[in-house]
């Protein structure tokens, strides 16, 4: 993350290779509105390799991006920064009179909490000025993908029944797993037990005393040091995919809690700093209407796949 108060020279890493310049700048200049970034590009104050570039320029590995000092916006107490609101505006996948579905970015919590002032639901209520919006389910902060928001109390109750039943609802994820998955498609049927360690950190482990948990892992693509997999959930336990993947010896790439520390460190050094778990598809029927929603993978995810393929 850059400091907008001073000149920055940023070197493009594999994580951002071939990303549009405007999208790269938005990811780096936290708190700076889109309009300000485009103005800086038009005026030539932001330069790439000492030259002017248009917003649609695709940054290349080792490009040098110069960012001038930028005065931060002022906002009222309790009001979310513009960059967070802009980020959420771009995430809408589907909306009707009952619900809306977002493609939640990795790193954005679904609600406020300890050390988190604004989550998805607070941002949405600020954008829509609608206190009736309610989270139907949750995704971990570092997990991206389909997130369902109810637009009324009636819709919330119906959707809660659906999500808690583990039936009539299909949840499909994508994950980049450490190492080459062996044995093809595999059902992992391993009970999970919540445990709290010293310091209050919540952990989940495979344990016979835990609740039933069942996941279908299907490898889609293989890389020298990793595997792209699709995972179908038959149950919805806390951290289910992350723990089942680690239990098989193939933790999710970038997972700080259950992952491979050495692999994650290497990713971070190459500019890939998130967890690569994505809620890819949700299918269900509500009030006799069928919903089938897909959340596309973002540019950062695609950049890592290209990097792994040529590693």
CA 166, 172, 176, 177 torsion-angle sign: positive
Q: Please tell me the pTM assigned to this model.
A: 0.76
Residue 103 is predicted with a pLDDT of 96
Residue 80 is predicted with a pLDDT of 67
Answer whether 5's CB lies under 8 Å from 72's CB: yes
Asked if residue 250 and residue 239 are part of one domain, the reply reads yes
Residue 57 is predicted with a pLDDT of 93
Residue 111 is predicted with a pLDDT of 84
Domain closes at, from 116, 148, 165: 165
* pLDDT(77) > 80: no
Residue 2 is predicted with a pLDDT of 56
Answer whether 132's CB lies under 8 Å from 170's CB: no
Give pLDDT tens digits for 106-165: 988 888 766 677 888 888 888 887 668 899 999 999 999 999 999 988 888 889 888 887
Residue 71 is predicted with a pLDDT of 67
Q: How confident is the model at residue 72 (pLDDT cuts 50, 70, 90)?
A: low
The residues facing 229 across adjacent strands are: 175, 219
Answer whether 9's CB lies under 8 Å from 64's CB: yes
* pLDDT(25) > 50: yes
Asked if residue 223 and residue 254 are part of one domain, the reply reads yes
Asked if residue 273 and residue 239 are part of one domain, the reply reads yes
Asked if residue 227 and residue 205 are part of one domain, the reply reads yes
Mean per-residue pLDDT over the chain, rounded: 88
Q: Specify the number of domains making up the chain.
A: 3
Q: How confident is the model at residue 199 (pLDDT cuts 50, 70, 90)?
A: low
Asked if residue 81 and residue 30 are part of one domain, the reply reads no
Asked if residue 299 and residue 206 are part of one domain, the reply reads yes
Whether 1 is in a domain gets the answer no
Average pLDDT over residues 305-311: 87
Gap between the Cα atoms of 39 and 34, Å rounded: 9
Whether 72 is in a domain gets the answer no
Q: Would you please indicate which residues are annotated as catalytic (active-site) residues?
A: 140
Question: What range defines the domain where residue 47 resides?
Answer: 8-67
Tokens (6 digits) for 265: 């460190």
Asked if residue 174 and residue 149 are part of one domain, the reply reads no
Residue 146 is predicted with a pLDDT of 97
Which of 70-74, 175-179, 289-293 shows the lowest mean pLDDT across its residues? Answer: 70-74
Asked if residue 159 and residue 233 are part of one domain, the reply reads no
CATH number for the domain that contains residue 140: 3.30.2350.10
Domain closes at, from 130, 165, 200: 165
Residue 6 is predicted with a pLDDT of 75
Residue 183 is predicted with a pLDDT of 85
Give pLDDT tens digits for 178-198: 999 988 999 999 999 988 675
Buried/exposed 268-279: b ≥16 CB within 10 Å, e otherwise: eebbbebbbbbb
* pLDDT(246) > 50: yes
Residue 53 is predicted with a pLDDT of 92
* pLDDT(201) > 90: no
Rounded alpha-carbon distances, angstroms, from residue 191 to 163, 187, 229, 248: 19, 13, 21, 14
* pLDDT(76) > 70: no
Give pLDDT tens digits for 209-224: 999 999 999 999 999 9
Domain closes at, from 67, 95, 114: 67
The interaxial angle of helices 34-42 and 21-28, nearest 10 deg, is 130
37 or 260, which is more confident: 260
Distance of CA 116 to the CA centre of its chain: 16
Asked if residue 157 and residue 120 are part of one domain, the reply reads yes
Rounded alpha-carbon distances, angstroms, from residue 71 to 4, 34, 36, 38: 7, 14, 10, 15
Tokens (6 digits) for 300: 């950062």
Give pLDDT tens digits for 273-282: 899 999 999 9
Residue 213 is predicted with a pLDDT of 95
Residue 75 is predicted with a pLDDT of 47
């Amino acid at each position: 993350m850059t400091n907008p108060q001073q000149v920055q020279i940023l070197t493009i890493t594999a994580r951002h290779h071939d990303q549009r310049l405007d999208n790269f700048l938005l990811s780096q200049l936290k708190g700076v509105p889109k309009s300000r970034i485009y103005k800086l590009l038009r005026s030539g104050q932001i330069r790439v390799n000492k030259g002017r570039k248009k917003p649609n320029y695709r940054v290349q590995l080792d490009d040098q991006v110069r960012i001038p000092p930028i005065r931060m916006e002022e906002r009222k107490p309790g009001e979310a920064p513009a960059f967070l609101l802009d980020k959420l505006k771009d995430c809408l996948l589907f909306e009707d009179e009952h619900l809306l579905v977002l493609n939640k970015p990795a790193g954005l919590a679904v609600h406020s909490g300890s050390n988190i002032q604004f989550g998805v639901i607070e941002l949405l209520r600020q954008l829509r000025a609608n206190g009736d919006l309610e989270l139907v389910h949750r995704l971990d902060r570092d997990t991206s993908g389909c997130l369902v928001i109810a637009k009324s109390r009636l819709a919330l109750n119906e959707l809660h029944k659906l999500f808690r039943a583990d039936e009539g609802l299909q949840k499909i994820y994508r994950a980049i797993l450490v190492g080459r998955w062996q044995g093809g498609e595999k059902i992992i049927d391993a009970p999970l037990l919540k445990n709290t360690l010293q310091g209050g950190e919540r952990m989940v482990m495979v344990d016979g005393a835990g609740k039933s948990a069942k996941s279908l892992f299907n490898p889609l693509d293989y890389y020298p040091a990793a595997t792209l997999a699709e995972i179908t959930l038959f149950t919805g336990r806390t951290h289910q995919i992350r723990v089942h993947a680690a239990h098989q010896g193939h933790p999710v790439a970038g997972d700080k809690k259950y992952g491979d520390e050495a692999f994650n460190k290497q990713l971070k050094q190459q500019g890939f700093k998130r967890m690569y778990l994505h809620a890819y598809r949700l299918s269900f029927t509500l009030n006799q209407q069928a919903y089938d929603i897909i959340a596309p993978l973002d540019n950062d995810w695609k950049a890592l796949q290209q990097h792994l393929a040529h590693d």
